[in-house]
Amino acid sequence: MRRVVTACGLAFWWMCACGGAQSAQSPSVASGVSAWQDEFDRDGLPDRGRWDYEVGFIRNNERQYYTRDRLENARVENGLLIIEARRERFQNADYTSASLTSRTSWTYGRIEVRAKLPRGRGTWPAIWTLGTNIREVGWPLCGELDIMEHVGFEPGRIHANIHTRAYNHVQGTNKGNSIVVSAPDAEFHVYAAAWTPDRVEFFVDGRRFFMFAKEPGGDAVWPFDKPQYLILNLAIGGNWGGQRGIDDAAFPARYEIDYVRVFPASP
């Protein structure tokens, strides 16, 4: 068994063993001990102690209804978390899916997710974070870190972005990058973000492809000195994912997650 350190409400200062900034090659942690994790080793519904759900029609004019505690849409089986989008009538929607939110939040650290993505035009899986103060200050002032997004009409292209009040997609000022990955719908890859007090770096399989460094301007530019929580979701359609329509032959669409690990700083 791996040792798990409870991490609710703590601020983690993640740096490499030498005490400097993380290298661009691999976001490693000297201790190798995660502060929070889910290895998905118990079949059934996702662990209620670790995960909550978004429910309903949430954002971006997406077509799916996000359900709660429904095995058809979110379940653990054979060591994997399966988020499954289905074409079915449900609560006035033509599609169902799930969006899981972590019950724990973090300030700084490394978030690492090993996953295999769904295929099919109209699918839009993501790994991302939002500030826990979103109800008080709203989006985008709360800050958003998009660790992985993949729209099905661009197979293999992985996107990472940050959103703040100064830099966000609504204004067309968001900052990000993308990278082409081999067969993300047939193979597992590790998607990670290394978040420190002065930068956020984004990786696929240890290869850095985007970095956002802290800039002057306060919370409008850098709201990332406050806790963020994690979201794993599979959207269908919407403003971005649905730009080229939805291929109904792709359903049911499965988003498979092997593990989620969050690493703190070395002592």
H-run or E-run covering 135: helix 134-137
DSSP secondary structure letters along 13-58: ----TTSSPPPSS----SS---SEEE---S-BS--TTTEEE--B--
Whole-Å CA distances, 203 to 13, 17, 76, 142: 18, 19, 26, 23
H-run or E-run covering 137: helix 134-137
Active site residue 144: yes
- Residue 92: count other Cβ atoms within 10 Å of its Cβ: 7
H-run or E-run covering 240: helix 238-241
Euclidean distance between the first and the last CA atom of the chain, given in angstroms as a whole number:
22
Token pair of 255, please? Answer: 């988003």
Q: Which residues contact 82 (CB under 8 A, 6 or more apart)?
A: 74, 75, 76, 254, 255, 256, 257
Q: How far apart are CA 197 and CA 211, in angstroms?
A: 13
Residue among 149, 187, 201, 215 flagged as catalytic:
149
Closest CA to 10 of 107, 144, 92: 107
Active site residue 256: no
Residue among 62, 84, 112, 144 flagged as catalytic:
144
Q: Are 193 and 145 in contact (CB under 8 A)?
A: yes
Q: Are 233 and 97 in contact (CB under 8 A)?
A: yes
Residues assigned a catalytic role: 144, 149
